[in-house]
Amino acid sequence: MPSKLPREVSTEEIDSYHRDGVVLLKDIFNPEWIEVLSRGLTKNCENPTHRARTWDRDKQGRTMFWDSQAWQDIDEYKNFIFNSHAGELAGKLLKAKEINFFFDAVFVRSTGTQFSTPWHQDEPYWTIEGYDTCTIWMPLVPVKKKNALAFVPGSHLSDQVFDQYNFGTLNPDGKSDVDQVDFTGIAQESIPDIDADPDRYNVVSWDMQPGDCIAFNSRILHGGSGKLDEDQELKVFTSKWLGDDARVKFRECGMDPDHSDIMTQYGLKPGDRPGTDLYPKIWTSHQQ
């Protein structure tokens, strides 16, 4: 039996999610789930997938480590995906009939790491298109507002097509077969310099404790995090969830993480509702 939400998701929280594209949910995962994910993350860092990569390594040896789609090999992640209330949380926020799991991604900054994630939206990189998508960003250690992921509220509703960052260039160890994207010819303009004037963009972020999460729409502009104090590390587990209008899409600009080969192997075609064992259905509204 999946664990129950420890409290109702309020109408105000659901409305904020749709108005702003992001909402902070305090005390929504109990310490047991944080322990489960922390154990999983330790295993993940010790035995990364072939997709894993260091995004940044500075002169002092401080690193930002990223991995994705590790869940099939890590029992703790599987347990969280199938048995926690994360899918239900996504379902409530998206007002969905059904929720499929898309993928996991982890962002691990060693103590004092300065690396900031470039501003971007997620959907333009994905093998999925749709409004009904949700990332649940969970810090497994306390994080201060100035170091947490930041967002431009309302930007998920704009149809502006931006020249998104090529995360494939974050590769100090020269790993081969890294996913690349190139929005030349597709983008209408560059992402604005949000850091130069965060007030103009009403940028939001929050102090967070383990057990809190941020849920956000894959179309929202987000970035930052990092710039950690000397004694501070940051370990974040994210899970990506798909609601009713999410459909498979293969993009000419490239995809990151690129699921197009594996989707094709599983018989999924552009326009299909994602499913199969790879993107399992986790929650339906009639379970209520």
Ligand X SMILES: O=C(O)CCC(=O)C(=O)O
Which residues are at the interface with ligand X (CB under 6 A)? Answer: 105, 107, 117, 122, 135, 137, 149, 222, 225, 236, 238
Q: How far apart are CA 175 and CA 165, in angstroms?
A: 18
> How far apart are the two ends of the chain, measured CA to CA in Å?
13
By beta-carbon proximity to ligand X, the closer residue of 22 and 248 is: 22
By beta-carbon proximity to ligand X, the closer residue of 16 and 225 is: 225
Q: How far apart are CA 77 and CA 39, in angstroms?
A: 9
Q: How far apart are CA 13 and CA 215, in angstroms?
A: 10
Instruction: Name, in order, each residue with C-beta under 8 angstroms of 284's C-beta and a sequence gap of 6 or more.
Output: 91, 97, 98, 99
Closest residue to ligand X using C-beta atoms: 117
By beta-carbon proximity to ligand X, the closer residue of 69 and 238 is: 238
By beta-carbon proximity to ligand X, the closer residue of 9 and 149 is: 149
- What is the smallest separation between the CB atom of 256 and ligand X, expressed in angstroms? 11
- What is the smallest separation between the CB atom of 193 and ligand X, expressed in angstroms? 18
Strands (E), 75-158: 98-109, 117-120, 128-129, 133-139, 149-151
Q: How far apart are CA 272 and CA 249, in angstroms?
A: 8
- What is the smallest separation between the CB atom of 225 and ligand X, expressed in angstroms? 4
Kindly tell me the sign of the dihedral angle through the C-alpha atoms of 235, 279, 215, 58.
positive
By beta-carbon proximity to ligand X, the closer residue of 16 and 238 is: 238
- What is the smallest separation between the CB atom of 48 and ligand X, expressed in angstroms? 17
- What is the smallest separation between the CB atom of 236 and ligand X, expressed in angstroms? 5
| DSSP element (H, E) containing 237 | strand 234-242
- What is the smallest separation between the CB atom of 181 and ligand X, expressed in angstroms? 14
By beta-carbon proximity to ligand X, the closer residue of 6 and 172 is: 172
Nearest to 178 by CA among 73, 70, 52, 58: 52
